[in-house]
Amino acid sequence: YEFSPDVITLDLEMPGMDGFTFLRLVTQSRPLPVIVVSSRSEDRAIFRALELGATDFIAKPSARISSDIQRIAQELRFKVENIRKVALSNLMQFERGLKPAAGRGAVAEVRMQETPSCVVVGSSTGGPAALHYLLSELPPRFDIPIAIAQHMPRGFTKPFAERLSKRLGRDVIEGEDGRLLQPGQVILAPGGKHLLIENSTRGPKLTIADPAESDRFIPSVDRLFESAVEVFEERIDAVILTGMGNDGLKGARVVHDAGGHVIAESQETAVVYGMPREVVEAGLADKVAALPEIPRLLAAAVNKPRAKPRGKAARA
């Protein structure tokens, strides 16, 4: 390229060469981090772009003059400044087809708890592809509910959930306020909102909360994890996947102190080793695992002795 850019922001709706053609040329000739900027959420164009090798995306404001512009500008600046942390080789492996890791003995190396009551997952940049892989590799009869906080703006999580459900043959939904948590169901936090789990007279239910102006990461991984501990205590498996920033660090600490089990994706496969690294360096990860190992670790958490609660739970 004439200007040797470090990162490209790409609009999918361009005259002449469309964004998809351009993206294919970039990934085939000289891979670079690409942030897609698009308002096309309903036709699933964003997810096609991510599958073609885009690193991340930003949603355009809904109107020419919008209160979202300042927030979007801050988000774009944050992503551009942190894009140097992206491991393009890890991003490209999803295009080539990530293969399960064999012979690592990962399941035997880690002390797994008995079957958890809930699995909670946090992810950001690189998350859509990682989540697709993780869910596709779980056993068909994985009957534990999975709640996911993937950083994503409004309007994108519902088509993403529908896409996962159709491709994987699993019950994947966008979270709805007041809905009961069902065995085997996968729930995505609605874009632009927070997903919480609360107790009710009929059992654990979902609560959808509006973000505060001060919230940096939406949906919040921390708030999902913290709410899950309030309901399930130590009966939780928490997974931190690829992503920028430190969302999930506070939540992982709460899970760890309650006696739950924390798994962090390793640098070996994470597109951005930001969120997982924060958890690992804080000493909160019970296991640091490459993405192909994580489904096996979750599937192995059946009828295993649970470690005694740590931290506050241990002192209660």
Of 56, 222, 237, 247, which one is the catalytic site residue?
247
124 is catalytic: yes
Of 41, 56, 117, 151, which one is the catalytic site residue?
151
What are 200-208's contacts with CB under 8 Å, separation 24+? 204/118, 204/180, 204/231, 204/232, 205/178, 205/179, 205/180, 205/181, 206/147, 206/175, 206/176, 206/177, 206/178, 206/179, 206/180, 206/181, 207/177, 207/178, 208/175, 208/176, 208/177
151 is catalytic: yes
Of 41, 117, 123, 124, which one is the catalytic site residue?
124
Burial class (CB in 10 A: 0-12, 13-18, 19+), 2: exposed
Give the β-pairing of 236-240 and 8-11. Answer: unpaired
Cβ–Cβ < 8 Å for 12, 43: no
11 is catalytic: no
Catalytic residues: 124, 151, 247
